[in-house]
Structure 1
Amino acid sequence: MKKVDFLIVGTQKSATSALFTQLAKHPKIEMSRQKELHFFDTDIYFKHKKPDYEKYHSYFSDKEKLWGEATPIYAYWEEAPKRIYEYNKKIKLIFILRDPIERAFSQWNMEKNRDTEHLSFSQALREEEQRVKEALPEQHRVYSYKDRGLYSLQIRRLLRFFSKEQILFLCYEDLKNYPILTLNKVTDFLQIEVFESLKFDTVFQTAYKSQLLYSDFLYLKKYFYNDVQEVQHLLGWKCSSWLKRKKNFKVLFYRDYRAYTGGHQVVYDYFSFFKEHPLFEVFIYFSKESCIDATNPWYNDMESRVEVYEPWEYDVLFIAGEDWKMLEDGIENYKTVINLIQGIRHTFPQTKLYKYLQKKAYKIAVSNEVANALCETQKVLSPIVTIENGIDLSNIEAQKEFEVYILGVKNVPLARELAEYFDTKNISFEVTYTKKSLQSIHTLMAKAKISVLLPFHAEGFYLPALEAMQYTDLVVVPDCIGNRTFCKNDFNVIMPPEYDFESLVVAIEKAFCVLNDNERLEEMQKNMTATYRSYSKEKQKKLFYDFLEKNII
C-alpha cells in the first residue's frame, strides 16, 4: 500500500502554507489536494483499532510521486506522533520553528480576524491557562497561544518515535530570509533533485491591525526563556535572537483639562520624561470637555494626541486624580498602571479618590508626607515610591515693579482681604485670583519683592513655594502638609504662626523688615537658592528613570 512519504508537522503560523505551495510545484512531489487534512489529530478516526487510511489516501492520486501533507498541529497534538509512527515508521517529518513570541502574536491576529477571539492579546495570554481547560482532556485548538510555542516538549515527543535522521528542523527566519538555501535543504532531505527554477511565494500574509506591545514581549520572553534554552540544547541552534527583540513601550495618559493648574503641570512633566526616554512612545487622550489652548501644557505636543481612548492597546497607563474612572475595572491586573498621587486628600475616606487606593498600581507620591499618609490608611497594597517634584532652574529676567505678589487662587477670600489691606497701606501689589499659566505666575513672582502664597492645608507638595524662592526676593507662606520638608521658618521663608489674616499681616511686616536688613536678607536668599536648586526637574527625572529601570524596563 502506497503511503504518505513526508509530513509538515509544525508549527502553526510558521510559513507552512508557503512551503506547502512551493513543494507542490516540484515534479517529483504530489501534495494533498488540500492543505491541513487533520487526519492524525482527529481522535474519532482512531477510535477503532484500524483507522481508515483509504480515506486519507483519497487526497492523493499519483503513486509515482512522493506524497506530502501539511497539518501544522501534528507536532503539538499529543497523540499525533504515535499515530503517525503506527501509520508509517519510515515517514519523514518537517518541523518549522518560529520565534515563539512572534508566533503567538501571529496566531492571535489570525483568530482575531476569524472573529473567534474577543480578548486583547494581553488578556488572552494571561487567561490562557484558564481558557484551555475548556478542551480537556485534549489540547485547545484556538486559545493555545503560549502552549504551542513550547517547542522542546514537542521535539522530545517526536524523537520518542522517530530518529533525528527522519526529522528536518527548519527555522522560519531562514525560510523567510534564505528561501532558496532552505528549500535546497528540503529537497536534499527528501532525496530529490533541487528545483530547476525557483520563485518562492509567501502566502497568506496579512498586515496586523495592532502592534505587539513591549510589555507583552517581556511577559512572553520570561515565559519562553527556559524552553528556548532547551531547544538550543536539543537542536544545537542559537535561538537567542528570539529573546532579544526590542520594541518601545507605549504609554497612555488621560487628562480632563478645563483650566491650568499645578497638578496638570506635574502630570505634563511626567509626560515629558516619558517622551525624552528612548524606550517609550507616549500618547495622551483629552476628554471632550478639555480646553486646548495656549494655557494647556500639551499645546505644542498635539502630535501625541489620540482621538480614541483604548487603554488595552498600550503597555503603560499613567493616571492621576480621578482618571481611574476611565479604566475598565480589573485592567490593572493586566496592564502596568502608574498612579501619580499629588495630594493628602486621596487618603480622606469621604473623597471619591479614597476607593482607588486599593487598586493595583505603582503609586508615585510627590512627597514623604503623602507617602506616609498613604501608608497610614493601610489600604494601599501596591508599591509606594516617593519622587518629589522639581522645578525648572532657568531664570526670568524682570525688573521689580511692585512690592508684593499674592498667589490667591486657592484661598480667594483671604487674598481679597490682604489686597484691601495693601490698598489702605499704599503697598503696591498684584494678585492672582483665577488660574493662570505657569509662565504668567513666574513672571509676576519675578516682578515682586515679596511673594505671599496661600496654599491648601492638605497640599501634597506645594511647588509654588520653591518657584517663589527662585524668582522673588522673599517668600511668605503658611504651613501646609506639602511644604514642611523644604520650607523652614526664618531660614528660607517667613511663616505666620497661624493660617489667618492677622498672622499673615505680621509675617508680611516681618518680611519688609528683612528687606531692609541686608545681612539677614543675603543669608535668607542664600538659603532659598540652595533649597530650590536641590529640587530640580533633572533630579526628579533621574529618580523617575531609576524607577522605570527597576520596575518597568
Structure 2
Amino acid sequence: MLPNFLVIGSSRSGTTSLYHHLGQHPQAYVTPVIEPRFFAFEDSALDFSGPGDQLLRHRVVTRWDDYVDLFTAARGQRAVGEVSPAYLCSAETARRIHRRVPAARILAILRNPVERAISSFCLERLDGFEPEHSLRAAIGKEEARREANWSYVWRYHHRGRYHQHLRRYFDLFPKEQIGVWLYEDWEPDGGQTLLNAVFAFLGLDPDLGATDEVVRLNTTGADRFRTCRLERSEPSEEDLAWLTELYRDDIARLEELLCRDLSHWRRFGGS
C-alpha cells in the first residue's frame, strides 16, 4: 500500500490538528508517526550542523522500504497518507513525490508568511535552539546558515515563499489533485468547514469525521505562542513592514495561482 494523499505544509498552520482529525476518520489512514519527511530527505545522510539538527536523525525516514512499512497497517481505507510540512519548501520533494506516487492528492494549509515566520522563530527560541534574539537578525543570517549546512528549519523567510514552492507542484500535478486552504479557514465554526472541505477532497464522508478536538489541539500551540511572546521582544512595526515587503511579490503571484484574495496578508502580519 502506498499513500494516495500527502499533506505538504505549511508548518505552524494547523497541520498537526489535521493529522489527528484524519486519523480519527474511519475512512482514512495516516502513518502512526507524524512527519516522516521521506520525500524531503530520501537517501539523505542528515548531516546538518545547526543547533538541534541532530534530532532529525531520529525523526526522519530516509529509506524507501522503511517508508512503505509505515503504511502496512492500512486496511482498505479510501484515503491513505501522511503529513509532512517539510515537503512544501524542499526543492526536490515535488519531483520525488511525482516519481513515486504520481496519482497522490496534494494538500496544503498556508498561514500568513509573516505570522508563520514569527511563530517558527518563536518556537525555536522557546526550545532553546535559536541563538539570535530577533527574527530580523536570524533572517539576515539565513544564507550563511544554509551554506554552513543548517537544516531547512532555520530558513524562516524561505519557507514562507509559498508561490515559489507550490509552483513546483502545479507544474507536475494536475490542478484537480491539489487542494490549498488558508490557516484562517480554521477559524469559522471551529474548523468544521475546513475539515469538511478536506474530507470531500479526499473522497471521505464528512458526517463520519470527528471534530470535537479541533479547538483543544489548536489551543495548545496558541498557548505556547503566547508564552513565547512574553519571553521575547515583539517585532517592531518597522520589522513587520520589512518582512511583509519581502513577501509582497510572492503573495501577488500566489493570489494568481490560487485565484484567491490575499490582500490581508500584505498588512503587517494580516492585521
Query: What TM-score results when the alignment is normalised by the length of structure 1?
Result: 0.41
Partners in 1 of 2:128 and 2:179 — Cα distance?
34
> Aligned partners of 2:112, 2:123: CA distance in 1, in Å?
16
Q: Deviations over 1:206-260 (max 9, x none)?
A: 1233333322211111111111100001111111101114799xxxxxxxxxxxx
State how 1:117-136 maps to structure 2 within 5 Å: 117-120=130-133, 121-135=135-149
- CA-CA distance at 1:62 after TM superposition: 2.2
Q: Which amino acid aligns with 1:230?
A: R
Q: Which runs of 4+ in 1 moved over 6 A?
A: none
Distance 2:127 2:187 in 1: 24
> Partner residue of 1:216?
239
Pair 1:55 & 2:69 matched: no
Distance (whole Å) between structure 1 residues aligned to residue 264 and residue 5 of structure 2 = 30
Partner of 2:50: none
Give the alignment of 1:453-464 within 5 angstroms.
Answer: none
Contact 1:26–1:195 (Cα < 8 Å) also in 2: no
Which position in structure 1 is the counterpart of 2:154? 143
What value does the CA root-mean-square deviation take over the aligned residues?
2.1
Describe the SS at the equivalent of 2:181.
strand
Tell me how far 1:131 sits from its aligned partner: 2.3
Extract unaligned runs of 5+ from structure 2: 46-61
1:231 aligned partner: 254
Amino acid at match of 2:162: Y
For residues 4 and 168 of structure 1, do their structure 2 counterparts lie closer, same or farther at Cα, with a shift above 3 Å needed? Answer: same
Cα deviations by residue, 1:75-98 (Å, 9 ceiling, x for unpaired)? 111111111111111000111111
- Judge conservation of contact 2:114–2:268 (CA < 8 Å) in 1: no
Bigger RCO of structures 1 and 2 (CA < 8 A, at least 6 apart)? 2
Contact 1:10 1:74 in 2 (8 A): yes
Equivalents in 1 of 2:251, 2:270: separation in Å? 20
Match of 1:67 among 77, 80, 87: 80
User: Does structure 2 conserve the Cα–Cα contact (< 8 Å) formed by 1:134 and 1:140?
Assistant: no
Distance 1:88 1:212, change over 3 A: same
Look up the SS of the partner of 1:67 in the other structure: strand
Q: CA deviation at 1:122?
A: 2.5
**Whole-angstrom CA distance in 2 between matches of 1:36 and 1:118:** 25
Structure 2 partner of 1:507: none
Letter in 2 for 1:164: K
1:100 aligns with 2:123: no
Using a 3 Å threshold, how does the CA distance of structure 1 residues 52 and 111 change in structure 2: closer, same or farther?
closer
Pairwise mapping of residues 140-539 of structure 1 onto structure 2 (< 5 A)?
140-178=151-189, 179-196=191-208, 197-199=210-212, 200-201=214-215, 202-203=217-218, 204-205=220-221, 206=224, 207=226, 208-209=228-229, 210=232, 211-245=234-268
SS in 1 for 2:106: strand
Specify every segment of 5 or more residues in structure 1 that has no aligned partner in the other structure, as ranges: 249-553
Shift of residue 172, structure 1, vs aligned partner: 0.7
User: 2:19, 2:32 → 1: CA distance?
Assistant: 11
When you count helix as a share of all residues, which structure comes out higher? Answer: 2
2:34 corresponds to which letter in structure 1?
Answer: K
Instruction: Give the Å deviation of 1:110.
Output: 1.1
- Amino acid corresponding to residue 215 of structure 1 in structure 2: E
Q: Secondary structure at the match of 2:148?
A: helix
Quick check: which one's strand share is greater? 1
Larger Cα Rg: Structure 1 or Structure 2?
1
Provide closer, same or farther for how the CA distance between residues 59 and 227 of structure 1 changes in structure 2, counting only shifts above 3 A.
Answer: same
Q: Which amino acid aligns with 1:214?
A: E
Q: What is the deviation of 1:55?
A: 1.3
The answer to whether the 8 Å contact 1:31/1:69 transfers is yes
Q: Is the 8 A contact 1:213 1:247 kept in 2?
A: no
| Secondary structure, aligned partner of 1:169 | strand
1:173-203, Cα deviation, whole Å (9 max, x unpaired): 1123441111111011001100444222434
